[in-house]
Amino acid sequence: MSLFRAHPLRTTLTALLLGASTGALAQAPALTADSLSLKQKIGQLQQMHVEAKTAAEIPEELKAAIRNGQVGSILNIPSPEVANELQRIAMTESAAKIPLIFARDVIHGYRTIMPTPLGQAASWNADLVEKGARAAAVEASSMGIRWTFAPMIDISRDSRWGRITESFGEDPHLTSVLTVASVRGYQGDSLSDPTSIAATAKHFVGYGAAEGGRDYNVTYIPEPLLHNIYLPPFKAAVDAGVATIMSAFNELNGVPASAHDYAINTVLRGEFGFDGVIVSDWDSVLELVAHGYAEDKKQAALQALKAGLDIEMVSTTIQENLPALMDGGKVTEAELDAKVKRILDLKHQLGLFEQPYSKGDPAKSILTPEHKNLAEQLALESLVLLKNDKQTLPLAKGKSVALIGPLAHAAHDQLGSWVLDAQKKDSVTVLDAFRQVLGQDKLFYSQALYSSRSRDSKDFAQAIDQAKKADVIVYVGGEEAVLSGEAHSRADTRLPGAQEQLIRELKKTGKPLVVVIMAGRPIALNDVIDEMDALVMAWHPGTMGGPAIVRLLQGDADPVGRLPVTWPKVTGQMPIYYNHPSSGRPASEGNFTQMDDFPLEAFQHSTGHKNHYIDIGFKPQFPFGFGLSYSSVSYSDIKLDKKSMRADGELKVSAKITNTGKRPVTETVQLYIRDLVASSVRPVRELKSFQRVTLKPKESKRVTFTLRSSDLAFYNQKLEHVVEPGEFHVWIAPNAELGMQTEFSVR
Ligand code: BGC
Cβ–ligand 1 contact at 131 (below 6 Å): no
Q: What angle do CA 417, 420, 113 make, to 5 degrees?
A: 65
Task: Yes or no: say if 527 and 500 are a contact pair by the CB < 8 Å rule.
Answer: yes
pLDDT of 608:
83
Residues 168, 170, 171, 176, CA torsion sign: positive
pLDDT of 590:
84
Ramachandran angles phi, psi of 173, nearest 5° = -70, -50
Ramachandran angles phi, psi of 219, nearest 5° = -130, 135
Taken in order of first residue, the domains within the chain and their CATH numbers are 42-98 (no CATH), 104-362 (3.20.20.300), 633-746 (2.60.40.10)
Cβ–ligand 1 contact at 163 (below 6 Å): no
Asked if residue 661 has pLDDT above 90, the reply is yes
Q: For residue 29, what are the contacts with CB-CB under 8 A and spacing of at least 6?
A: none
pTM of the complete model:
0.95
Beta-strand pair 73-75/101-104 = parallel
How far, in Å, is the centroid of ligand 1 from the Cα of 240? 22
CA distances from 296 to 69, 285, 330, 370, 572 (A): 25, 11, 15, 51, 39
- What are 66-80's pLDDT values in tens digits? 999 999 999 998 999
- What are 546-559's pLDDT values in tens digits? 999 999 999 999 99
Beta-strand pair 200-204/244-247 = parallel
Question: How far, in Å, CA of 602 to CA of 582, rounded?
Answer: 28
Q: DSSP state, 316?
A: -
Asked if residue 186 has pLDDT above 50, the reply is yes
pLDDT of 155:
98
Ligand 1 pocket, mutate which of 104, 149, 204, 280 (most atoms under 8 A from CB): 149
DSSP letters for 542-611: -TTHHHHHHHHHTTSS------SS-B-SSGGG-S--SSPBPPSS---GGG---GGGSPTT--GGGG---S
How far, in Å, is the centroid of ligand 1 from the Cα of 367? 25
- What are 146-169's pLDDT values in tens digits? 999 999 999 999 999 999 999 999
How far, in Å, is the centroid of ligand 1 from the Cα of 248? 9
Asked if residue 18 has pLDDT above 80, the reply is no
pLDDT of 21:
33
pLDDT of 15:
38
State mean pLDDT over 39-65: 96
Cβ–ligand 1 contact at 149 (below 6 Å): yes
Asked if residue 416 has pLDDT above 90, the reply is yes
- What are 354-386's pLDDT values in tens digits? 999 999 999 999 999 999 999 999 999 999 999
- What are 716-746's pLDDT values in tens digits? 999 999 999 999 999 999 999 999 999 999 9
- What are 521-533's pLDDT values in tens digits? 999 999 999 999 9
Question: How far, in Å, CA of 523 to CA of 681, rounded?
Answer: 31
Which amino acid is residue 217, in one-letter code? Answer: N
How far, in Å, is the centroid of ligand 1 from the Cα of 282? 6
How far, in Å, is the centroid of ligand 1 from the Cα of 148? 10
Residue of the nearest CA to atom 12 in ligand 1? 105
- Pick the closest to residue 232 from 728, 734, 688 (CA basis): 688
Asked if residue 223 has pLDDT above 90, the reply is yes
Cβ–ligand 1 contact at 724 (below 6 Å): no
HSE (CB half, 13 Å, CA atoms) of 704? 7
Which residues are known catalytic residues? 281
Cβ–ligand 1 contact at 166 (below 6 Å): no
Cβ–ligand 1 contact at 281 (below 6 Å): yes
Residue of the nearest CA to atom 10 in ligand 1? 149
Question: How far, in Å, CA of 266 to CA of 554, rounded?
Answer: 53
Cβ–ligand 1 contact at 147 (below 6 Å): no
Residue of the nearest CA to atom 8 in ligand 1? 281
Cβ–ligand 1 contact at 345 (below 6 Å): no
CA distances from 348 to 141, 269, 403, 498 (A): 16, 21, 53, 55
Q: DSSP state, 424?
A: G
Confidence of residue 592 (pLDDT cuts 50, 70, 90): confident
Residue of the nearest CA to atom 2 in ligand 1? 281
- What are 26-37's pLDDT values in tens digits? 333 334 335 899
Closest ligand 1 atom to Cα of 248: 8
Instruction: Return the CA Rg of the chain.
Output: 27
Helix ranges, 402-512 (H)? 430-437, 460-469, 499-507
How far, in Å, is the centroid of ligand 1 from the Cα of 464? 43
Cβ–ligand 1 contact at 104 (below 6 Å): no
Helix (H) or strand (E) holding 135: helix 126-142
pLDDT of 7:
37
Confidence of residue 604 (pLDDT cuts 50, 70, 90): confident
CA distances from 642 to 475, 653, 654, 700 (A): 51, 9, 11, 23
Q: How many residues does the chain have?
A: 747
